[in-house]
Amino acid sequence: MYVKAILAVLLGSQAVNGQLAKLAREAGLEYFGTCIGEGNTNDQTYMNILRNLDEFDQVVPENGQKWDSLQPQQGNFNWGQGDIVANIARQNNQLLRCHTLTWHSQLPGWVRDGNWNRQTLTAVIETHIATVLRHYQGQCYHWDVVNEAADDNGNWRNSVFYRVLGTDFLPISFFAARQADPSTKLYYNDYNLEYNNAKTDITVEMVKIIQRAGAPIDGVGFQGHLIVGSTPSRQALANTLRRFTALGVEVAYTEVDIRHASLPPNQQALVTQGNDYANVVGSCLDVDGCIGFTVWGFTDKYSWIPHTFPGEGDAMLYDSNFGKKPAWTSVSSVLAAAATGGPSPPPTSPPPTNPPPTNPPPTNPPPSGGNCSGMWGQCGGQGWNGPTCCSQGTCQQQNPWYSQCL
Ligand code: 9MR
């Protein structure tokens, strides 16, 4: 927090007109990024948004660097898909998070179903990691070395790696990665760590196992695949992140999306989604050692969620027409508040439902200076009955139901 606060003071005066990555850096994070679906890269509207360095200064390939893509048959390495996003990152001067090496999923049949013993599977892991890291040498800011090694009940996942090697596949993978490319930060990455439950516990244990083996681990990635209305509070999330920074590793949110459990979302659900996003970003800002934030795609037009959870979705910051959603405004507001060292903005008040309700008072009225809102306060929007002027900053419309003093 100290470093983040200093950065915020130094940079704060330029913060207010920035976009997500610009604001994130000004707030003391290292980056704000997104994954890129390799198949979406001929969509020019999509590309124009993600190439904007002020919006996204870090990218990660959604699928191209997974084992089945890079080494579909033993010894046959294929770089075509993996290089798509690596090349975009280089051309745009964006940081590249690389994803992922030892993972039970998107693992080709020759690995998953092979008749391995300790020695042969160790060699397979070491060869894959050495070949891949050398190909991307110097390009990856982070590598997700091991992905999703725990199951949702907090047990070791029943993968070929665990069956043959027990937990030794963890240090084997991290040692191999450090040896192949000492310049990249090495991460363990998983989902549902955010709930601070048995899965979180075994992941803490996992970091300790890697460290006790003398193997290098630099960070733990919280994927952040969350659900609107069920996202933990900012404080609870921060406390969970601190369980890992206490072990001497950094943390990052690596794949955030917050999906609606039913579609289409009503306006209240869009506001709740914005507040959930704000809590997740805010928790990272609150924790020394939480270094960056990555969303798993930025537009509802392209998302893995409806394929995996039919009937759910609309989890992103931009809608399917590339319009910014209330969640985008929430995230930018939280980052802007941190960038200028100001208080976090209050939760966005609900937009009107149709027909409009009888104007319930906002639960958290924004701070006001006399009859005007202070910096970051709400100053307009459909259904808004509060102040429409600013005692600090100027009132800027973010969307039809939310204007803010910036
Ligand atoms: O977004 C990815 C989707 O296109 C793939 O079909 C899916 C297959 O496993 O993987 C998705 O990405 C996952 C990521 O690599 C690891 N964490 C969970 C992500 C969502 O499933």
Q: Is 63 in the pocket of ligand 1 (CB under 6 A)?
A: yes
Listing DSSP states for 310-376 in one string gives TT-B--SSB-TTSPBPHHHHHHHHHHHHHHTT-PPPPPPPPPP-SSPPS-PPPSSPPPEETTEE-TT
Cβ atoms within 10 Å of 80's Cβ, excluding its own: 10
Structural tokens at position 50: 């993600």
Q: Which residues contact 176 (CB under 8 A, 6 or more apart)?
A: 125, 126, 129, 130
Q: Which of 63, 65, 147, 312 to mutate to test the pocket of ligand 1 (most atoms within 8 A of CB)?
A: 63
384, pLDDT greater than 60 = no
Burial 357-373 (b: 16+ CB within 10 A, else e): eeeeebeeebbbeeebb
Distance, CA of 318 to CA of 314 (rounded, Å): 9
Q: What was the pLDDT predicted at 390? A: 78
Average pLDDT, the chain: 88
pLDDT confidence of residue 340? 84
- pLDDT confidence of 366, banded at 50, 70, 90? very low
> Catalytic residues, which ones?
148, 255
255 lines ligand 1 (CB under 6 A): yes
pLDDT in tens, 343-358: 666 555 444 333 333 3
Distance of CA 371 to the CA centre of its chain: 38
Enumerate helices (H) and strands (E) in the chain, giving the number of each.
Answer: 14, 14
Mutation to probe ligand 1, out of 102, 143, 226, 304 (largest number of atoms < 8 A from CB): 304
CA distance 107 to 388: 56
Q: Evaluate: CB of 105 within 6 angstroms of ligand 1.
A: yes
Give the number of the atom of ligand 1 that is nearest the alpha carbon of residue 106: 9
- Least Cα distance to 377 among 367, 369, 385 occurs for 367
- Cα 343 to middle of ligand 1, angstroms: 35
What are the distances in angstroms from CA 282 to CA 28, 251, 259, 334?
Answer: 12, 14, 18, 7
Residue nearest to atom 21 of ligand 1 (CA): 304
Contact 67 CB / ligand 1 (< 6 Å): no
How far is residue 340's CA from residue 361's CA, in Å, rounded to a whole number? Answer: 29
Tell me the whole-structure pTM to 2 decimals: 0.84
CA distance 149 to 137: 25
Share of the chain above pLDDT 90, in %: 79
Name the pLDDT band for 391 (thresholds 50, 70, 90): confident
Ligand 1, atom 14: closest residue by C-alpha? 62
Q: Whose CA is nearest to atom 12 of ligand 1?
A: 62
Instruction: Work out which ligand 1 atom sits closest to the CA atom of 308.
Output: 21
Alpha helix (H) residue ranges in 232-294: 234-245, 267-286
Residue from 62, 191, 194 whose mutation best tests the ligand 1 pocket (most atoms within 8 A of CB): 62
Helix (H, G, I), strand (E, B) or coil at 96: strand
Q: Cα of 140 to ligand 1 centre, how many Å?
A: 19
In short, whether 200's Cβ falls inside 6 Å of ligand 1 is no
Kindly give the number of the ligand 1 atom that is closest to the alpha carbon of 307: 6
146: β partners: 102, 188
Axis-axis angle for helices 169-180, 198-212 (nearest 10): 60
> Is the pLDDT at 5 greater than 70, yes or no?
no
Q: Dihedral of CA 194/200/204/206: which sign? A: negative
Cis peptide before 355, with omega less than 30 degrees from 0?
yes
pLDDT in tens, 197-218: 999 999 999 999 999 999 999 9
Residue with tokens 């660097």: 65
Question: Where is average pLDDT lowest: 10-24, 267-281, 359-373?
Answer: 359-373
